[in-house]
Amino acid sequence: MMVTMGAQTAFAEKMPDLRDEDGTLMVDVTYFDEDLEVPITGAELTLYKVADLTVSNGYALYRLTEPFSDSGVDLGSMTAARSIEAAGILYDIVTEKNLEGKMVVSEDGIVDFGEVSHGMYLIAQTGARDEARDYKRIDPYLVMAPQPLTDIDETGENDWEYDVLSIPKMVEGDYEPPDEEDDDEPEKKKEKEKVTETEKGKRAESTKTGDETRLYVWVSLIPIALSAMILIGMLRRRSRR
């Protein structure tokens, strides 16, 4: 028997096989206010791969990667609130395990992570410089790469969008870095770790442990995509600048 490394999530929609080459992932760090667009320089974003993506018999499957396999996160039951909660849980693991990711600083409003392998990714803001210090920190969120496209041109055909552009909402205000542990208060740190372990146990009990979890409601993927909408038009517009 094989030991699964985290639950798998399958789309109800039939999807074509993935192409062999990697896709790309960019983040548009721009402040929008009616007709005003302000590209922001200095936002330090870090990318962490949290799940691998494969296609089997037409079904797309996400499997949590080893650092996150014991997180208790179920990618097959995403609502808007759960998507945000899942990102927070995964980011807690990043900080607890001191995991390294790919860090890129925005220039003229663009963070270009370049080529990325197929999977689910966690994006977190880990710093701010220059203009980015005048905006609130982006909360950690999840993004799929590639992202599924359904009913293309109303033909009923599904496909994958490999060039993903994520557009988080930027809010004016002072940047505040993530909370850091206070080494001068070891008792509080121990208590926090104890609570964290208890919560992990509860999540593990409530998580589906089967080899494969089917996602029968396609619309439940929308909350994940809300923070990572693919705007091909904006990519083309920016490429012409």
The encoded tokens of residue 23 equal 């896709």
Model confidence, pTM = 0.73
Residue at 3 is within a domain: no
pLDDT in tens, the chain (241 residues): 222 234 455 555 788 999 998 999 999 999 999 889 999 999 999 999 999 999 988 888 889 999 999 998 887 666 778 889 999 999 999 999 999 999 999 999 999 999 999 999 999 999 999 999 999 999 999 999 999 887 776 777 889 999 999 999 999 999 999 875 444 444 544 554 554 455 445 444 433 333 333 333 333 444 444 444 544 445 544 554 5
Residue 215 is part of which domain span? 8-239
pLDDT value at residue 178? 83
Residue at 112 is within a domain: yes
Residue at 105 is within a domain: yes
pLDDT value at residue 74? 81
Residue at 1 is within a domain: no
Residue showing tokens 């966690």: 122
Residue at 98 is within a domain: yes
CATH (domain of 204)? 2.60.40.10
Residue at 2 is within a domain: no
Whether 52 contacts 118, CB under 8 Å: yes
Closest CA to 215 of 120, 92, 121: 120
- Number of structural domains, the chain? 1
Closest CA to 112 of 239, 26, 41: 26
Closest CA to 148 of 201, 94, 219: 219
Residue at 205 is within a domain: yes
pLDDT value at residue 43? 98
Residue at 169 is within a domain: yes
